């Protein structure tokens, strides 16, 4: 059953207090580095684990890991285009998209395509790489524009006026929200995430490095 606009707005409310309260520079850095919170053990999982769905009472979200990563990649495509249109056009009206229809279509996994009788599953690495690339692109754009352009707005058909800052805050929250569930699934399937090891260079500040 499709969610109503009111239900969607209520679900997304948490991002407003924390993300919109951040200084622009801090928000942009958090947005840029968001994908770093992903448990890297995802890349070592076999298809069975990546495509494993969970019951709602498991407390880790129902979607399989591959589906979640496909969803956040598509969301990044949508948000990147909306932000770039808003920066370039006067009060654009962005198209909406049916997230549930994308999930239900099977394009994120389950082997809907075949080659020589063998199911082909989308590579999770491609989903993650897409998120990383688009975020670096968006961050590099927002880092050089005048600060007043962060207040340029589009007119969303369902949610009304949305500024670039609001879209960035939502996108930052959205990825973190879904990656938390991915990481919970990883812990359920593989056990606690190992503590990161220091690279030995001391204070390198690489994301995830214990010496940072």
Q: What is the pLDDT of residue 210?
A: 55
What is the SS3 assignment for 56? helix
Express each pLDDT in 54-93 by its tens digit: 998 999 999 999 999 999 999 999 999 999 999 999 999 9
Within 45-123, where are the H helices? 47-50, 65-88, 99-105
Q: What is the pLDDT of residue 117?
A: 58
Q: What is the domain class of 5-190 according to CATH?
A: mainly alpha
The stretch 203-209 carries a mean pLDDT of 55
46: DSSP letter: -
Among 150, 146, 174, 144, CA closest to 162: 150
Express each pLDDT in 86-132 by its tens digit: 999 999 999 999 999 999 888 887 555 555 556 667 889 999 999 99
Residue with tokens 């940072």: 212
Q: Does the structure show a pLDDT above 80 at 201?
A: no
Q: What is the pLDDT of residue 127?
A: 96
Q: What is the pLDDT of residue 135?
A: 97
């Amino acid at each position: 059953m499709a969610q109503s606009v009111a239900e969607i707005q209520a679900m997304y409310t948490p991002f407003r207090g924390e993300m919109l309260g951040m200084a622009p520079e801090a928000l942009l850095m958090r947005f840029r580095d968001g994908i770093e919170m992903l448990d890297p053990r995802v890349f070592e999982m076999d298809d069975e684990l990546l495509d494993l769905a969970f019951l709602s009472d498991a407390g880790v979200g129902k979607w399989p890991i591959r589906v979640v990563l496909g969803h956040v990649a598509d969301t990044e495509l949508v948000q990147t285009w909306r932000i770039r249109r808003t920066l370039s056009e006067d009060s654009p009206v962005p198209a909406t998209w049916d997230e549930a229809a994308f999930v239900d279509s099977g394009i994120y996994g389950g082997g809907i395509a075949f080659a020589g009788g063998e199911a082909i599953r989308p590579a999770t690495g491609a989903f993650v790489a897409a998120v990383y690339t688009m975020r670096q692109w968006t961050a590099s754009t927002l880092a050089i524009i005048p600060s007043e352009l962060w207040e340029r707005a589009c007119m969303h058909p369902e949610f009304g006026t949305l500024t670039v800052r609001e879209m960035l805050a939502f996108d930052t929250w959205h990825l973190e929200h879904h990656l938390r569930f991915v990481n919970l699934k990883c812990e359920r399937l593989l056990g606690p995430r190992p503590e990161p090891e220091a690279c030995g260079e001391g204070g390198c500040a690489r994301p995830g490095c214990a010496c940072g």
